[in-house]
């Protein structure tokens, strides 16, 4: 079986972002970019399934500007077999991304699509659910454990939900989005980074895939969140309790 | 009165201001997040009519529906879908249900709370309706203009929905606090209306609509299923769940939240945090590090990928204050941080900071804090 993994290039999670002075967005020039952490987890899980002998091929897909090739190379260095890069100059809403992934899925025929549960830039948490809807496949979101049964052709998935953990069983093909605790992604070793350079990355455009681009959300402005008033340091527990009682009135 | 569920548009409310809310319920009552979503929906427009959609099966569903009818004065309608298909909140049948309900009523807005329930289902519905949803709305400016946080809350994005279909939102419940509603005629109304209505069960494959109860603004609709749910719906099955039953208040809506980080060092030590929470009548939270180390279960994680809290008092012990954690606590009214490291980033957002060893500070707090009822 084949597994498709969607990976997104985002501002590195450790970077303290800056809002552009003209309020059009967040400054991404000369900022360290890397693979979205949840996408790393998604890719790692696909690789583990392949290593366990359940899958033959892991294909990584990224949609975005030319630099997304770097993200794909990272994925290939981790162990993906090949990449698909849908090159675009504009950024798309999750619905359009889902449509692009759907048309790729129709060509590639994977039995599993892995995505991260959300991208840490737009924090949307939508794409996986949308791909599943468009394909008419079942979904298992926020996965913290995935067990495949090849004979029954199902995946049993533990999901992180508000009250604890929930277990679902979904028929394949299915879409799974990954939560933090699913696994610990591997680092790419130097030999694998070298090897990744010769792995194929197929270039495509949105036009090739005949996807209609939906832009029904307009960003009016991006601003900094309100700053909190600076606080005070106290020197003892007594002083802390006194402040909480008489100044903040919370105890 | 029976309504043919054919494509003809429903004669019901004006298309301008009708909101459908995907309601979440558990053991006979609707969840507080759903009520927050009603509060949010209420600010969409003055004439907005609000319908709650509940799905499930059996008596607990009916109980929840009854409670839903009186949960907020602005709820004008409760739609109940009672079927074994909805025994568990699976995304596949739920999404089909919403798509189906939307064919009957022309809703301008479809809302759910930004809980794991809402985030699981709403985007799936949105894709079926070919609409871009808006996640985690923290402020409603106009009926089509919203503010939502991006980059772990380090920026706020103001967006306008320009599409033709219904505007679909998930609501961050901490941004729309529920003010207690005084017991007046309004809440009495709801209690009365639910009793008889739950008996209307006949008419499979048809719609039983609008049973008007004199003087009451509530309608109950009993939906049954003239559409095949097969398709993707049966491709997903519920197996089970493990939930932690606690006596403590719910993390998402607690007035006080006490959080521990990696510095607690063990499950046993984390009990100190629990004791302090009990003393203050608060909920226990944790950082990712504490969850990963196995000190507490994952549903206590606070932050960008865990719960977002906004209590009156938030106390962090041994929490460094990573961007991802701060994303979940920034809207707390008073933040207290106790940490050994005077340079920990948490002190930059704390209203009161204390540099010290939490193993000394917590016992002292336990001893000196006044007892809560």
Q: Is B366 on the interface with A (CB under 8 A)?
A: no
Asked whether B186 and B216 are in contact (CB, 8 A), the reply is no
**Has residue B215 got a pLDDT over 50?**
no
Cα A191 to Cα A189: distance, rounded to the nearest angstrom:
6
Q: Which residue has the higher pLDDT, B307 or B203?
A: B307
pTM: 0.88
Q: What is the pLDDT at residue A157?
A: 98
Q: What is the pLDDT at residue B181?
A: 63
Hey, are the CB atoms on B160 and A218 less than 8 Å from each other?
A: yes
Q: Do residues B169 and B271 share a domain?
A: no
For A218, which residue in chain B has the nearest alpha carbon?
B160
- Give strand pairing partners of B134: B169
- Is position B102 within any domain? yes
B102 is in an annotated binding site: no
Asked whether B97 and B86 are in contact (CB, 8 A), the reply is yes
Mean pLDDT (chain B) is 83
Boundary (domain end) residue, out of B150, B166, B194 = B194
**Looking at the 3D structure of chain B, how many domains does it have?**
2
Q: How far is B160 from chain A (nearest CA, A)?
A: 5
CATH 3.90.190.10 for domain A2-226: no
- Is position B327 within any domain? yes
Residues of chain A with pLDDT under 50: none
Q: Do residues B118 and B260 share a domain?
A: no
Nearest-CB residue to B232 (from A125, A138, A236): A138
Q: Is B8 on the interface with A (CB under 8 A)?
A: no
pLDDT (tens digit, 9 = 90+) per residue, B176-209?
Answer: 998 876 555 444 443 323 323 233 232 223 333 3
Interfacial B residues in 35-94 facing A (CB < 8 Å): 90-92
CATH number, domain containing residue B102: 3.40.50.620
Q: Which residue has the higher pLDDT, B44 or B13?
A: B44
Q: Do residues B151 and B264 share a domain?
A: no
CATH number, domain containing residue B347: 3.40.50.1220
What is the four-CA torsion angle of A39, A45, A50, A51, rounded to 10 degrees? 120
Q: Do residues B143 and B266 share a domain?
A: no
- Is position B262 within any domain? yes
Nearest-CB residue to B127 (from A95, A159, A231): A95
- Is position B248 within any domain? no
B372 pLDDT band (50/70/90 cuts)? low
- ipTM for the whole complex: 0.96
Within 13 Å and on the Cβ side, how many CA atoms surround B1? 7
B67 is in an annotated binding site: no
Asked whether A75 and A197 are in contact (CB, 8 A), the reply is no
- Is position B205 within any domain? no
B210 pLDDT band (50/70/90 cuts)? very low
Boundary (domain end) residue, out of B152, B168, B194 = B194
**Has residue B7 got a pLDDT over 60?**
no
- Is position B123 within any domain? yes
For B113, which residue in chain A has the nearest alpha carbon?
A162
pLDDT (tens digit, 9 = 90+) per residue, B245-301?
Answer: 667 888 988 999 999 999 999 999 999 999 999 999 999 999 999 999 999 999 999
B35 is in an annotated binding site: no
Hey, are the CB atoms on B163 and A133 less than 8 Å from each other?
A: no
Q: What is the pLDDT at residue B199?
A: 30
In the numeric block, which tokens belong to residue A4? 């498709």
Domain that holds residue B330: 256-368
pLDDT (tens digit, 9 = 90+) per residue, B44-97?
Answer: 987 778 999 999 988 899 889 888 888 888 888 899 998 888 889 999 999 999
pLDDT > 90 fraction of chain B, expressed in percent and rounded = 62
The mean pLDDT of B215-232, rounded to a whole number, is 43
Nearest-CB residue to B132 (from A140, A216, A224): A216
Q: Which of B216, B41, B233 is nearest to B143 (CA)?
A: B41
- Is position B3 within any domain? no
Q: How far is B311 from chain A (nearest CA, A)?
A: 10
Where do the structural domains in chain A lie, given as residue ranges?
2-226
Q: What is the pLDDT at residue B170?
A: 98
For A144, which residue in chain B has the nearest alpha carbon?
B298
- Is position B298 within any domain? yes
Hey, are the CB atoms on A95 and B130 less than 8 Å from each other?
A: yes
Q: Do residues B173 and B264 share a domain?
A: no
Q: Is B115 on the interface with A (CB under 8 A)?
A: yes
Q: List CB contacts of B88: < 8 A, sequence separation 6 or more.
A: B238
């Amino acid at each position: 079986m084949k597994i498709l993994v969607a990976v997104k290039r985002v501002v590195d999670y450790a970077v303290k972002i800056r809002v552009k002075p003209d309020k059009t967005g967040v400054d991404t020039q000369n900022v360290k970019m890397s693979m979205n952490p949840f996408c790393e987890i998604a890719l790692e899980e696909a690789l583990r399934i392949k290593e366990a002998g359940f899958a033959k091929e892991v294909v990584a897909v990224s949609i975005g500007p030319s630099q997304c090739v770097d993200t794909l190379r990272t994925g290939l260095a981790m162990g993906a077999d090949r990449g698909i890069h849908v090159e675009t100059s504009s950024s798309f809403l999750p619905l359009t991304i889902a449509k692009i992934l759907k048309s790729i899925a129709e060509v590639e025929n994977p039995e599993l699509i892995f995505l991260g549960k959300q991208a840490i830039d737009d924090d949307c948490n939508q794409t996986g659910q949308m791909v599943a809807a468009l394909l008419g496949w079942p979904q298992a979101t926020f996965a913290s454990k995935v067990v495949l049964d090849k004979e029954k052709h199902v995946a049993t998935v533990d999901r992180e939900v508000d009250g604890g953990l929930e277990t679902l069983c979904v028929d394949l093909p299915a879409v799974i989005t990954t939560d933090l605790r699913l696994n610990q992604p591997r680092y790419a070793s130097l030999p694998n980074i070298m090897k990744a350079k010769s792995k194929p990355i197929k270039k495509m455009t949105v036009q090739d895939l005949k996807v209609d681009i939906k832009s029904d959300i307009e960003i009016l402005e991006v601003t900094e969140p309100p700053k909190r008033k600076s606080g005070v340091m106290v020197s003892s527990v007594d002083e802390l309790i006194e402040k909480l009682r008489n100044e903040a009135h919370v105890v | 009165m029976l309504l043919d569920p054919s494509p003809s548009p429903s004669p019901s409310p004006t298309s301008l201001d009708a909101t459908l809310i995907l309601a979440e319920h558990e053991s006979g009552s609707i969840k507080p997040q759903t009520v927050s979503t009603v509060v949010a929906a209420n600010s969409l427009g003055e004439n907005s009519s609000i319908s709650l959609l509940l799905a499930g099966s059996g008596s607990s569903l009916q109980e929840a529906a009854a409670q839903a009818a009186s949960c907020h004065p602005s709820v004008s309608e409760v739609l109940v879908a009672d079927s074994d298909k909805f025994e568990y909140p699976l995304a596949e049948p739920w999404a089909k249900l919403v798509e189906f309900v939307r064919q009957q009523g022309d809703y301008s807005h479809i809302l759910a709370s930004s809980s794991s329930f809402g985030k699981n289902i709403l985007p799936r519905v949105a894709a079926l309706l070919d609409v871009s949803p808006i996640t985690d709305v923290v402020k409603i400016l106009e009926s089509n203009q919203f503010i939502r946080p991006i980059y772990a809350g380090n920026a706020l994005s103001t967006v306008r929905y320009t599409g033709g279909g219904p505007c679909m939102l998930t609501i961050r419940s901490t941004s729309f606090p529920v003010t207690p509603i005084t017991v007046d005629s309004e809440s009495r109304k709801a209690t009365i209306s639910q009793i008889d209505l739950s008996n209307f069960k006949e008419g499979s494959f048809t719609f039983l609509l609008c049973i008007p109860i004199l003087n009451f603004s509530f309608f109950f609709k009993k939906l049954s299923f003239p559409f095949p749910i097969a398709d993707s719906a049966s491709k997903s099955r519920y197996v089970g769940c493990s939930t932690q039953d606690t006596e403590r208040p719910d993390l998402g809506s607690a007035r006080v939240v006490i959080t521990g980080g990696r510095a607690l060092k063990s499950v046993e030590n984390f009990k100190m945090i629990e004791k302090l929470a009990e003393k203050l009548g608060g909920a226990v939270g944790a950082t990712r590090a504490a969850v990963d180390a196995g000190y507490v279960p994952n549903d206590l994680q606070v932050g960008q990928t865990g719960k977002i809290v906004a209590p009156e008092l938030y106390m962090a012990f041994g929490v460094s204050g990573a961007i991802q954690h701060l994303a979940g606590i920034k809207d707390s009214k008073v933040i207290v941080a106790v940490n050994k490291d005077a340079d920990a980033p948490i002190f930059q957002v704390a209203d009161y900071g204390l540099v010290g060893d939490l193993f000394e500070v917590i016992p002292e707090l336990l001893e000196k804090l006044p007892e809560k009822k």
